[in-house]
Structure 1
Amino acid sequence: MVGETAENKAGTDEKESATAFRDRVRSAVIWRSGSQILAQIITWASTLLVIRLLNPADYGLFAMTQAILAFLTFLNGWGFASALVQSDSVDPFRIRQAFGLLLLLNAMLAAILFFGGPLAAAYYGQPKVAELLRVQSLLFLAIPFIALPEVIMSRALDFRRQAVVNLAAATAGAGTALACALSGFGVWTLVYAPLAMFWTRAIGLTILARLLVWPSFDFKGCGQIIGFGSAILFSQLFWLVQSQSDVFIAGRLFDPHALGLYAEALFLSQIFMAKFVPPLNEVAFPAYSRIKDDPAAMRRGFLKTVRLLMLVSAPFYCGLTVVAAPLVETLFGPKWLGMAPYVQHISLALMLMTVQILFAPVNNALGKPSVTMFVSLGGAIIFPTTFLIGSHWGLIGMAWAWLVAAPLLLLYTVRLSARLIGLSLWDIVRAMLPGLAPALMMAIGVELAAELIVPFHWAAPIRLGLLVGLGVALYGALLWTFEREVIAEGIQIVLRRDPAADPGLTATPGQDAI
């Protein structure tokens, strides 16, 4: 039976006040982002220790399996469950239908991965890939017990209980990774740690959400779930083609050691976009869904999100570009220094990708997942094409391809998506500039200091500390000099300033939601 789920709570006050809704959105952002940051600190501490114990070839083999795994993940049915968030109301039978769909799809994917492992191993010419994939098929069996509780709780903007489970899962994964690495499990360390995380989340979310339901395999009347979910499904497919095509291409052309360097450069460069932006989008989707009939509120909320996110992401990516070498040597060790040039190129491209992925929750909340699908289709064409061309110049050529593909995809996304809420390219650029312009100036200053002031023969940790300190001070000074209004806006949100003092922070029709 269905217990007291977050959905029950969401329906108790359909006409909550603007202040209450604004506070719920802010609380959701704080819990989701805060728990993500803490979980990542736990995970990264473990990851950095594990990286020093394993070899680049281990990460190369694991990257090969991830390319295959990701291409199947788009079929896991998460989009069908997400349809429950966008709907105006949800009844218990629809929840049971969604659960039935999730169980069927993920059982099928687990079987495909288990029996299809040898084909993937033959493609790469690495027999061990088959064994790794077969064990990872267990990941799909956990997904129904993660997706359904998560979307129901997200619908009610209940991210506090999710945060508890995510922290427990991060701890379980980190502990498993360290234990396996120290025990000499090699590449299997990278397989068992995600399994521990997934199953901890599955059990924890199901218990805390009290979502114990019998699945229904009677799919009559679930057209909205199928329609919305199918568009999300194809969007995920195209996104995976875009995001995994470089490893898929490189895995056949280059040896595991070289691929391991490139794969870990991707990991380091994508930390912000992959780990911190998706949690914000998870909150943004249900929040936008609540104000989908007020384009003005969505427009202001979206621009505010871009503006504030760039204040953090732009200095991160620009700084990563100029301190890549000492950062890699300090965190990963000298044997990983070959990944530094890849980090420098990919980081610059990801500044634009961070803005590009913010459009998806807006499109989906407006009931236009087809627009997200066509945007993803564009990425699935642009990125593989540039990677294929860049591969003629080796892995560094593929890193350069990011700098061509990312701006093209952002322009295409703005062309399709921005008009839905009445925005232009110039509106987006103006929202980016308060964070982007000072970050670029900071990067130039830090690069000059690295060349002229900080000696190259100093130890990597010392160089890194000095350059990071200089970058933080310079960026802060530039913001304080030129962008005090944006700083004040961020402080107002964090300190929960009374909306009466700033109408732009009130989430009513015609006001911001985020």
Structure 2
Amino acid sequence: MNPPILSSLAWSLVRTWGGRLAGFAIYFQLVRVLAPEDMGLFSAAFAVFVFLEIFADLGMVQAVVQRPQVTPAQLNAVLLLNMLAAVLLTAVLWSAAPLVETLVGIPRLGAVLQVGCLTLLFSSAGFAQEAMARRRFEFRRLAMRTLFSTIVGGAVGVWLAATGHGVWALVVQLLVSSALNAGALWLRPAWSLRVRPDFRGVGQLACFGTHVTGMRLVEYAGTRGVELLIAMLLGPHALGIYAVGTKIHYIFMQLLGLALSDVAQSGYARLAADLDRLRAAYLSSVSAAALAATPAWAVLSAAAPEIALIAFGPRWTACAQVLGPVALLGALQVLQKFDTAVLNALGRPGLTLMLSAARSLGALLAVWLAHDRGLAAVAMAFVASQLLVAPVNLWLLHRHLKAAWRGWIGCTWLPLFGGCLAWIAMSLARDADAVAHATALVRLLMLASIGGATYLVALAALGRRQLYGLWFDWRALRRPSP
């Protein structure tokens, strides 16, 4: 591999994982200090900020990165459009914040929106600079910027939270991080601002950006849109419990899903012309991921009370009613990362967008229908809505990958069945005296050991043929094609 590309890849990983791990560590510290109402209030405000940032960006960052050539004059046009959109959106949100507070029904939301909306200006100022840095493979610079802004902003937020400033600790943390991000990008500009903006080439960028914006809106509806709906229907306390309860699930998905999807996308694209090899690679990847990831999700679900207590403290034990069912869904969501990669490799991104839209719509309907039964019912309904889309997923794979659903069932039934057995064993063991009277950490270790042992016994008893087949498939895939 080319040394500059290898170095860029390494720094890209530092930027991605370093920033996320630092952010996760800071988040855990903040949650242990702040109350659920504060976390819920900020989550509702942040959902509004994310929604407006989609329109402030206009998909231009990705468009600039993808475009073969871009001139300084076009970059100035993009910067001007981003800033104009951000100023307009900031002004609208500032004026409409009291109305939004009334509609959502959360006290103090208006004030948080009016102060926090300044992040739109900071973020928009750095969009084009970040795009150029990515075009030039300046991932070391981006990595250091992300780590620095995350750590400094997080330190300020933790200090304010510890000194009793409540939700404003999160608002100030967001403002500081956003300002440092933008400032670090403009310390060494990628082009001159003296060049007159050229709007002639912006149309093509905007056309590409429209598709990016559509995809982001669909993803938003199934994530931040769900949180905003929970805030409106159940209030900030319930949203705080839900947001924190799904955080560990999100971390697991980031650690597992992001790495898997990136590798799978690159590997499947090379095999797109050979359907037989693509099918074999897909089934082998799904089988390996199911075998490796399923027991982790089973432990995360069955030991949700212990994990919530250890990670967030006693005031957050109610998070287990959200984390438990959502973690079980994670075992399927990791496998669906490969489905998306296959459909994209086959040139069917529209199908992945359709599936994402179906999941987002199902999630919103589930929250709406189950909200009057409490947060636990909402979590269960959310999981059910996502499971209902799974058969459509398999049908599309069967149609485009030919008989993939039979192979999918053949290579996933055992890990999923073993994971269910492990979950049942851990749930039954929880009532045993030795487990029930242990500390939370010891209880977690005991349950994880019981679940892991049950899973391994199930594989040894029923899955030796599948394990041997996976080994031979892996060796075959590693052989160079003739």
TM-score bracket relative to the smaller structure:
0.7 to 0.9
The answer as to whether partners of 2:105 and 2:235 remain within 8 angstroms in 1 is no
Which of 113, 116, 125 lines up with 2:93 in the alignment?
113
Q: Is the counterpart of residue 351 in structure 1 residue 345 in structure 2?
A: no
Q: Secondary structure at the match of 1:90?
A: coil
Equivalent pairs counted in the alignment come to 476
The answer as to whether partners of 1:382 and 1:405 remain within 8 angstroms in 2 is yes
Q: Is the counterpart of residue 182 in structure 1 residue 162 in structure 2?
A: yes
Structure 1 counterpart of 2:230: 250
Q: What's the offset of the Cα at 1:57?
A: 1.2
Structure 1 counterpart of 2:301: 321
Give the Cα separation in 1 of the matches to 2:288 and 2:6. 14
The answer as to whether partners of 1:307 and 1:434 remain within 8 angstroms in 2 is no
1:226-250 CA-partner distances (Å, limit 9, x unpaired): 2332122112112212223433332
Matches within 5 A, 1:27-426: 32-33=12-13, 36-77=16-57, 79-86=59-66, 89-92=68-71, 95=75, 98-144=78-124, 146-151=126-131, 159-205=139-185, 211-214=190-193, 217-274=197-254, 277-278=257-258, 287=266, 294=273, 306=286, 309-310=289-290, 313-357=293-337, 369-415=349-395, 424-426=404-406
Letter in 1 for 2:69: V
- Report the identity percentage: 24
The answer as to whether partners of 2:234 and 2:371 remain within 8 angstroms in 1 is no
Q: What's the offset of the Cα at 1:58?
A: 0.8
Give the Cα separation in 2 of the matches to 1:334 and 1:271. 21
Give the Cα separation in 2 of the matches to 1:205 and 1:311. 42
Give the Cα separation in 2 of the matches to 1:351 and 1:206. 42
Give the Cα separation in 2 of the matches to 1:144 and 1:505. 47
Matches within 5 A, 1:15-30: 20=1
Structure 1 counterpart of 2:478: 504
Q: Which has the higher contact order (CA 8 A, sep 6+)?
A: 1
Q: Which runs of 5+ in 2 are unaligned?
A: none
Q: Which runs of 5+ in 1 are unaligned?
A: 1-19, 493-500
Matches within 5 A, 1:446-465: 446-452=426-432, 454-465=434-445
Q: Which moved more, 1:95-104 or 1:114-123?
A: 95-104
Give the Cα separation in 2 of the matches to 1:101 and 1:117. 24
Q: What's the offset of the Cα at 1:383?
A: 1.6
The answer as to whether partners of 2:397 and 2:404 remain within 8 angstroms in 1 is no
The answer as to whether partners of 1:62 and 1:187 remain within 8 angstroms in 2 is yes
Q: Secondary structure at the match of 1:455?
A: helix
Structure 2 counterpart of 1:498: none
Q: What's the offset of the Cα at 1:144?
A: 3.8
Q: What's the offset of the Cα at 1:438?
A: 4.5
The answer as to whether partners of 1:33 and 1:280 remain within 8 angstroms in 2 is no
Give the Cα separation in 2 of the matches to 1:97 and 1:442. 57
Compared CA separation, residues 315 and 152, structure 1 to 2 (3 A): farther
Compared CA separation, residues 425 and 256, structure 1 to 2 (3 A): same
The answer as to whether partners of 1:74 and 1:234 remain within 8 angstroms in 2 is no
Task: Provide TM-score, normalisation by structure 2.
Answer: 0.81
The answer as to whether partners of 2:363 and 2:385 remain within 8 angstroms in 1 is yes
Please give the root-mean-square deviation of Cα atoms over the aligned residues, in Å.
4.1
1:140-166 CA-partner distances (Å, limit 9, x unpaired): 223345544555555677655543333
Q: What's the offset of the Cα at 1:33?
A: 4.9
Q: What's the offset of the Cα at 1:334?
A: 2.0
Structure with a larger share of its residues in helix:
2
Q: What's the offset of the Cα at 1:408?
A: 2.4
